[in-house]
Structures are given as structure tokens and as C-alpha cells.
A and B are shown apart, each in its own frame.
Chain A
């Protein structure tokens, strides 16, 4: 499951490392934007440990939200061309039997490549 962590003030602290040590959960960092005063980190967390990990971050003073849809497609705009398929580094998109394009959004690491590759402006990376 994707989790967005907002941190402020304690950007110096090794928050992620602390949480991993506290919870013993293997967390994958998909994306991190951190500047001098605040940061936003997108994590991939195994679904069954989500609650524990979220609590651990909150104890460290971070705010946590769960990203249900890391990438959103506007189905009214999508023409099922497949331009997004080969540019995605983690193979979120694939053709299915009727040659429409299916999405496995849980794999998305929000790199944004597909957003500009789509000729029909159908894709959006979600931050909340």
C-alpha cells in the first residue's frame, strides 16, 4: 500500500530509519521530496503492517495519509492506445484481451513518466 508521510521541523532526524527499526517492517521508499524545512515521502508498505507503520510515524510527529490511488486515469479521455505501456518502469499498464489498457496501480512509484507520455492527458499522479 502507498503511504504519504509529511514531515516538518525534524527533517534532520532519520525518521524512516527509526520507524523501520521500531516496527521491523520492510519499507520501500518510492519517492522523497525533502527541502530545508519540510518533506513529503511516498512509501510502499505491506498492507498488513500499514496501521503499525502509520502509528510509528505519527509518534515521530509526522502526518500520514494512505494513497489509495497513486496514479489516476480519466477513463473518458483514455483511448486505450498503449503509449503509457512501454515508458512505465514498473509495468503498471498492460493490454488485456480486448486490447484495452489495464492498470495495476498498486505498483506505481509515481515517477510521472506516463503523465507526459499520454497523448490524451488522461493520467495524473495523486499526492493526497
Chain B
């Protein structure tokens, strides 16, 4: 079996004889050649990905002012940074949002944008506050800084470059604004993320060459893998890595602040990993193509920890622009940029070819086993059944409006579920609907004044989700139904709020 070492490859990088392919080129190469030939002919395969990586941020050291201040609160362009570190150290996270001044509207701006602006060399407003100590007497500081004024600016990203990511769609009747972008109603589109054939961790899925100390491309500079990223979940092929690099060497082309409408701030980060082709197993793994890589399309219309799966899908289908969902052609959108992923793999290839970048063996590979645990919650979640009232008056759709008016007056409630012949829920009338009808002298049946789009709840729905539903639809009560659409209770926003407050 053909093998090769990292130092042999680095020798070739030094003397200019190294042979480098991007992961896309390697996939094509391996359709014509064997893995054994690949080990002899190809030294390094470069990968790349460029997408939203929320778990990212930068450690900053500002230097000491005179008189000195122990910065307990720091804002950079009105974006708060974390300061529970030493006096003039801070960590600015990508998703921190600008503190908004009431009444003023702003373009979305946050941590990701501050980081991008720092790299671009722009001046940043720095505001710091402190309660003052004997050794750090100063209480307030305002100045303007650029990246060159900082002692250190080190990007440390707890989780980057997911091996793959669930694609998103939306079964509900309204538009959803999520961190997976705008999801149109009734399976109107599918959004996905990930570079497929170029994805770093998918090209070395057993992490033979990727681990603590692996030198990589990070944001346009040479950076390193620290170890596995948070939520690293290799058992489910959701591997991640933690990365670091010197912000001062980065390029704002590869680090971009971003904002997801009605969700919040994020940052797009460019990551590229070189894979030294040391043996046939490593070579064969880099032959992976979009058609080999599967992920799941999940329904973001169900706001639970695990969104239900709609179907399995390959990156090939996602990238074709159209996927089939139950016989319907649904258009796809990528959130990550394949164009820039390719630019990263190309750039890394150029660096290695020019003798500017040397590959490294990891001190230890990323763990190949392990999975993510859900949160342990000690208090138990409140359900709608804990708050609903089981005594609910209903009315038949053919009943007279006057009858509904009497019921409402008797019962002192505002919502009356309307039942069809077979006793299932078909509509709802409010005291407002009824008063209006009575005022107009309307003598028809309930059916003519009821609203047919009833928003409902179920006994096992989480209270938080029911509250959100009411807020969304600007309503104050939900009929609670069983699986046969029979009304078994009624829950009002008052009931739910009381329950939440008691907690």
C-alpha cells in the first residue's frame, strides 16, 4: 500500500514540486484514477466553506489607558463585548446586536460587522465603563481605535465548519424568518447550507488529518484547529471544529457580518482545510461527491428542538436548484456561498503551490465518536393542559346568532367554538363578531359570521409555544382540540400568563 508522510509533502512544498488539487478536482480525478495512483500523484487536497458561523468571535486586548481602567462593560460601535476577563481584555461575539437607541431605526449591525470593520482597518468607537478600584481608578473611557492599536486580536471560534447541516422548509401558512433565512409558506422553498463536495470535514470524515494543531485557512489568513467544536456530533455526521487565527492577518473578503431578518446578527466565515494525501484511505475519502452527501430537509414550521424530517436529500439535489417534496417542485436557496468556498480552496491551493503554506499533522485528531446531548431541564415544561379550562361552551354552526349572543352573555366568555354537524371544530365566533351582527340586525346563523381559520392548540403543546402562537396571530384564546378535532377545552392568554408568572 502506497503511503507518504507530512514531512515528505512539506519537502515538496519547499522545493516547489508539490501537486495540489482542490476537492472538486480530486473528485473528478478519482473517477479516472485509483486511490493508489492518487497517493503517488497527489500530495494535498484543498477544501473550503464559506457560510454563517454564529459561534465565532474575537479576543481583544486594548492596552492600558492612563489613568488605567478595569473595563467592566465595553461597547464597540455600540455593540457589547464580554469583559469578565482581565482589565483590558474582551471577547466580541459574532451575534451580539447593537444596543439600539429607542426611537431610532438602524441598519442591522452587530458583532460580526464590528469584526469585519476591524479587519477592514476602519476606526471603531470604544466605550468602557467601570466602578473604579484603588488600582484602576478610572470609571469611564471613550476613544476610537483601529485594529493596529490593539495588542492582540485573536479570532477564536468555538464552532465552525459543520460537516453538513439540515436543510429547512416550512409547512405552515405564513412566512417564517429564521437563521435558515426566509422560509416561504406551504413548502414554498428550501434553504440549505454547506459546501458539499468542498466541505472540509466531509472530505476527511474519520478526521485522520484534522485535529488539534492542524494548520488551516481561516478568514484569509493561516489559522489553526484548536480541537473539536462545540456540539461536535460525529456519530450523526455532524462534526464541527474549533478554530483560531490572527485577525490582523485576515481579509475582510472572507469574514463578513450578516443579518438574518427578524432573527438577528451572524457572521460569514471562510474556512479551508488542506488534506495531506498520506495513504489510500485518506485519498479515497476525498473522492466524495455531492451525490454521496446526504442531509435531511426538516420542517421549521414545527418550533421544537427536533424539527420533523420531511425527506432525505443529497447535496446534488439541493444544488440543482429544485427538490421534489410530495410531487411538488420546490426551489432551493443556498445560504452559504459555493462561489467563495471555491475561491478559498483555490487560494489555499495557490499558497501551497507557492511554498507559503505548509501542512501539519494534528497533535491529536478530532474525536470520531460522540454525540450531542439535549438540555437537562429540572423544572419540567408546562403544557397547555395545565392551564386550559375544560369547561367550554360550543355552538352548532346552524344555531341562530341570537342564541350565540345569549350564550356569551350567560357565560361571560369571549370566544365560542363553532361545531359542524359531526361535532368537530369548524369555526369560532367572538363576542365582537356577535355584537357586530346583532347591531346590524343580522338574524342569520352563526355560520355566516364565524371565522373559519381557527388557530388551535393541543393539550400536550408547550405553553411557551401557545403564547407565541397567540401573539403571532394577535388573538387571545385558543380552542384545545383532540386528534379528532373535537373541542376539549379552551385556553386564554390570561390563563397562560398566570401559569408562567407562578413559575
Chain A contact residues, CB within 8 Å of chain B: 79-87, 94-95, 98-101, 113, 116-117, 119-121
How many residue pairs bridge A and B at CB < 8 Å? 81
Contacting pair B260 A95 (CB below 8 A): no
Q: Using Cβ atoms and an 8 Å threshold, which residues of chain B touch A100?
A: 339
Selected contact of B191 from candidates A86, A94, A101, A116, CB within 8 Å: A86
Contacting pair B182 A82 (CB below 8 A): no
A82 and B259 alpha carbons, distance in the complex (Å)? 15
25 contacts between A and B (CB under 8 A): A79-B256, A80-B337, A81-B51, A81-B268, A81-B334, A81-B335, A81-B337, A83-B334, A85-B332, A86-B184, A86-B189, A87-B182, A87-B189, A95-B321, A98-B339, A99-B338, A99-B339, A101-B339, A116-B182, A116-B262, A117-B261, A119-B52, A119-B259, A120-B256, A121-B259
- Complex A-B, nearest 3 residue pairs according to Cβ-Cβ distance, in ascending order: A86-B189, A86-B333, A80-B339
Does B428 interact with chain A (Cβ within 8 Å)? no
Known: A86-B333, A120-B258. 4 other contacts (CB 8 A): A79-B256, A83-B335, A86-B191, A116-B261
A116 and B321 alpha carbons, distance in the complex (Å)? 20
Q: Using Cβ atoms and an 8 Å threshold, which residues of chain B touch A98?
A: 339, 342
Q: Using Cβ atoms and an 8 Å threshold, which residues of chain A touch B256?
A: 79, 120
Q: Using Cβ atoms and an 8 Å threshold, which residues of chain A touch B321?
A: 85, 94-95
Q: Using Cβ atoms and an 8 Å threshold, which residues of chain B touch A79?
A: 50, 256, 268, 337, 339-340
A82 and B193 alpha carbons, distance in the complex (Å)? 10
Does B266 interact with chain A (Cβ within 8 Å)? yes
Selected contact of B331 from candidates A85, A101, A116, A117, CB within 8 Å: A85
Q: How large is the interface on B (under 10, 10 to 19, 20 to 34, 35 or more residues)?
A: 20 to 34
B338 (CB) vs chain A CBs: closest residue = A99
Contacting pair B261 A81 (CB below 8 A): no
Q: Using Cβ atoms and an 8 Å threshold, which residues of chain B touch A87?
A: 181-182, 184, 189, 333
Instruction: Please judge, given known A-B contacts A99-B342, A117-B261, A120-B258, whether A83 and B107 are in contact too, CB under 8 Å.
Output: no
A44 and B408 alpha carbons, distance in the complex (Å)? 52
Does B44 interact with chain A (Cβ within 8 Å)? no
B183 (CB) vs chain A CBs: closest residue = A87
Contacting pair B340 A80 (CB below 8 A): yes
Return A54 CB to nearest CB of chain B, in Å.
35
Instruction: Please judge, given known A-B contacts A79-B268, A116-B261, A119-B181, whether A85 and B333 are in contact too, CB under 8 Å.
Output: yes
Which DSSP category, helix, strand, loop or mixed, fits chain B's interface? strand
Does B385 interact with chain A (Cβ within 8 Å)? no
A87 and B180 alpha carbons, distance in the complex (Å)? 12
Chain B 330-354: CB-based contact to A (< 8 A → 1; otherwise 0): 1111111111101000000000000
A100 and B332 alpha carbons, distance in the complex (Å)? 15
A101 and B139 alpha carbons, distance in the complex (Å)? 50
Return A97 CB to nearest CB of chain B, in Å.
10
Instruction: Please judge, given known A-B contacts A79-B256, A86-B190, A113-B182, whether A119 and B333 are in contact too, CB under 8 Å.
Output: no
Contacting pair A83 B333 (CB below 8 A): yes
B109 (CB) vs chain A CBs: closest residue = A121
* Highest count of chain A CB atoms <10 Å: which of B261, B337, B342: B337
A81 and B337 alpha carbons, distance in the complex (Å)? 4
Selected contact of A86 from candidates B259, B266, B332, B342, CB within 8 Å: B332
Selected contact of A82 from candidates B52, B177, B266, B333, CB within 8 Å: B333
A86 and B318 alpha carbons, distance in the complex (Å)? 12
Does B365 interact with chain A (Cβ within 8 Å)? no
Return B391 CB to nearest CB of chain A, in Å.
44
A91 and B420 alpha carbons, distance in the complex (Å)? 43
A21 and B262 alpha carbons, distance in the complex (Å)? 44
Contacting pair A117 B181 (CB below 8 A): yes
Return A124 CB to nearest CB of chain B, in Å.
12
Q: Using Cβ atoms and an 8 Å threshold, which residues of chain A touch B190?
A: 86
Q: Using Cβ atoms and an 8 Å threshold, which residues of chain A touch B335?
A: 81-83, 119
A81 and B331 alpha carbons, distance in the complex (Å)? 15
* Highest count of chain B CB atoms <10 Å: which of A82, A87, A94, A120: A82
Chain B 223-250: CB-based contact to A (< 8 A → 1; otherwise 0): 0000000000000000000000000000
Q: Using Cβ atoms and an 8 Å threshold, which residues of chain B touch A120?
A: 256, 258, 268
Q: Using Cβ atoms and an 8 Å threshold, which residues of chain A touch B340?
A: 79-80
Does B108 interact with chain A (Cβ within 8 Å)? yes
A83 and B266 alpha carbons, distance in the complex (Å)? 14
Contacting pair B108 A121 (CB below 8 A): yes
Contacting pair B342 A81 (CB below 8 A): no
Q: Using Cβ atoms and an 8 Å threshold, which residues of chain A touch B259?
A: 119, 121
A113 and B188 alpha carbons, distance in the complex (Å)? 13
A82 and B196 alpha carbons, distance in the complex (Å)? 15
